[in-house]
Amino acid sequence: MLAKKANDPLLKFWTLLSKQEQQNLTLQIKQINRTLLDQQIALINPSKSVDSFIEPFKDYAFAGNEKLQLKGKQLLQNGKMGCIVLAGGQGTRLCFEGPKGLFPVSVIKHKSLFQLLAEKTVAASKQVNFPLSLAIMTSPKNDQATKQFFVENDYWGLSKGQISFFCQSTLPLLNAEGSLFLETKSRIAEGPNGNGHCLHDFYQSGLYDVWKQRGIEYINIILVDNPLADPFDAELLGFHHQQKAEITIKCTEKHEPQEKVGILVKENHRVKVIEYSELPDQHKNASEANGRLQYCCANLSLFCFSMSFIENTLPNHPFLPLHKAWKAAKFVNEQGVTTLSSHPIAWKFETFIFDWLQYSKKVFALLYPRHHCFAPLKNFQGNDSLESVQKALIYREKEILKSITGLEPSSNLIELAADFYYPTADLLNKWKNRLAKTLYVEP
């Protein structure tokens, strides 16, 4: 055990705990992975940086290929793609209590992020006449509330066989001295381990085997707080299949050298996403003869993985690289009361999904117009707020409706049912040369 001595800080309140609380704390201590803990402790102490050689990532193409869209739809008709939604976060930064996926975002009907995703899955399934599979990654803090929300809303038309849930793992927090500490009298402080471990959690939950038995060969991974993310992108799937890719990143083109976005690069001949601040100025401004930036692939956290890559790679890489952040945290004070610190007191550790790129030699990117696929909801106000998200939804949905009807929408305020994102032949025929007469447009 990590805590053996009577005066160990983790056992400070031991005699005050009930038998059940003592058992829970003992179990939590036993479950801490010593190898990972050593990795966390080592990360706190700065190590010498390793020289790296950075060069542009060039294995990309631009979206808009109808043949690839058709190929992707054929693959979807055969049930070859499932979608994982990363939804472990809370709505704290949105001043919203509860799982972030419960946050209402749509303009007219005020549908939640989860409802939009569920209805898109239903619509995509209808378009290809196949019950497509959706998996929601929750966290220990929001797992129960998320599942209950789906039950209360009858899964928005999804069959129970289509929808699955699995829970994100956690990592212990460390204090300034690099030690474990208590959040309550009977619980060690922990935090979510980031989105990078989602493939491990998905695999270990048993869902990987279930999906493999269903014939699923590709997994689309999206974030719950991006309502323009396409859970079943036919062109992305068609492109991924054509390239025989292990990982395809759905990106957008970076136009401004100083734009603060993560960039896809090759570092020491391996594909990697680096932060804007990590790219030297001479690279930021470098451009091709046609004027396009050499480092032009902006990361949107949208990924397509081959199931075979997951199966072959996971056993060799049980732990991804950790990233640390100095944060405020809950702790138990001398009186045994849990308190949220007013300033940073703890190291939190996360893994990032883009760190899987370094383990693949078959990585490609498909670049989309930003307004087609990216409207992140991160803040209560300002950039990436509900206001900016709703503007993006209105703009995109007016564009979709115009492409179907051939007519300019008559209203500046509009919301589309999910069916318009995945139109069937009947819907296309019905809405050709037809104007919408309501703000909420149904098939």
Convert 173-231 into a string of H (helix), E (strand) and C (coil). Answer: CEECCCCCCEEECCEECEEECCHHHHHHHHHHCCHHHHHHHHCCCEEEEEECCCCCCCC
Whether 353 and 407 share a structural domain: no
Arithmetic mean of pLDDT over the chain: 94
Whether 208 and 357 share a structural domain: yes
Q: Find, among 10, 345, 389, 349, the residue nearest to 191 by Cα.
A: 349
Question: Under 8 Å CB-to-CB from 443, ≥6 apart: which residues?
Answer: 417, 419, 420, 427, 430
Domain count, the chain: 2
CATH number at residue 85: 3.90.550.10
Whether 305 and 194 share a structural domain: yes
pLDDT of 50 reads: 65
311 band by pLDDT with thresholds 50, 70 and 90: very high
Whether 196 and 342 share a structural domain: yes
Domain that holds residue 285: 15-44+51-378
Whether 260 has a pLDDT exceeding 90, the answer reads no
Q: What is the tens place of the pLDDT at every residue in 346-356?
A: 999 999 999 99
The answer to the question of residue 2 being in a domain is no
Whether 289 and 400 share a structural domain: no
pLDDT of 52 reads: 79
Lowest mean pLDDT among 9-23, 75-89, 269-283: 269-283
The answer to the question of residue 9 being in a domain is no
- 297-306 and 330-332 as β-strands: parallel, antiparallel, unpaired? unpaired
Q: Find, among 185, 294, 224, 239, the residue nearest to 67 by Cα.
A: 239
Task: Give the mean model confidence (pLDDT) for residues 414-439.
Answer: 97
Whether 2 has a pLDDT exceeding 60, the answer reads no
DSSP label at residue 16: G
Please report, as a single letter, which amino acid is at residue 39: Q
With a pLDDT cut of 70, the percent of the chain lying above it is 98
As beta bridge partners, residue 252 has 298, 368
Task: Give the mean model confidence (pLDDT) for residues 165-193.
Answer: 95
1 band by pLDDT with thresholds 50, 70 and 90: very low
User: Rounded to whole angstroms, how far apart are CA atoms 411 and 108?
Assistant: 13
The answer to the question of residue 7 being in a domain is no
The answer to the question of residue 239 being in a domain is yes
pLDDT of 322 reads: 94
Whether 287 and 310 share a structural domain: yes
- Quick one: 148 exposed, middle or buried, by C-beta within 10 A (0-12, 13-18, 19+)? exposed
Whether 259 and 389 share a structural domain: no
Q: Give the residue from 353, 378, 403 where a domain finishes.
A: 378
Whether 299 and 367 share a structural domain: yes
Helix (H) or strand (E) holding 41: helix 34-44
Task: Give the mean model confidence (pLDDT) for residues 266-272.
Answer: 93
316 band by pLDDT with thresholds 50, 70 and 90: very high
Q: Give the residue from 358, 378, 398 where a domain finishes.
A: 378
Whether 161 and 187 share a structural domain: yes
Whether 264 has a pLDDT exceeding 60, the answer reads yes
Whether 264 and 151 share a structural domain: yes
- 323-327 and 346-350 as β-strands: parallel, antiparallel, unpaired? antiparallel
Q: Give the residue from 350, 378, 406 where a domain finishes.
A: 378
Whether 135 and 176 share a structural domain: yes
pTM of the model: 0.94
Whether 7 has a pLDDT exceeding 70, the answer reads no
pLDDT of 6 reads: 47
pLDDT of 362 reads: 98
Task: Give the mean model confidence (pLDDT) for residues 305-312.
Answer: 98
Q: Find, among 385, 424, 387, 389, the residue nearest to 404 by Cα.
A: 424
User: Rounded to whole angstroms, how far apart are CA atoms 159 and 96?
Assistant: 29
Whether 243 and 355 share a structural domain: yes
Q: What is the tens place of the pLDDT at every residue in 355-366?
A: 999 999 999 999
The answer to the question of residue 5 being in a domain is no
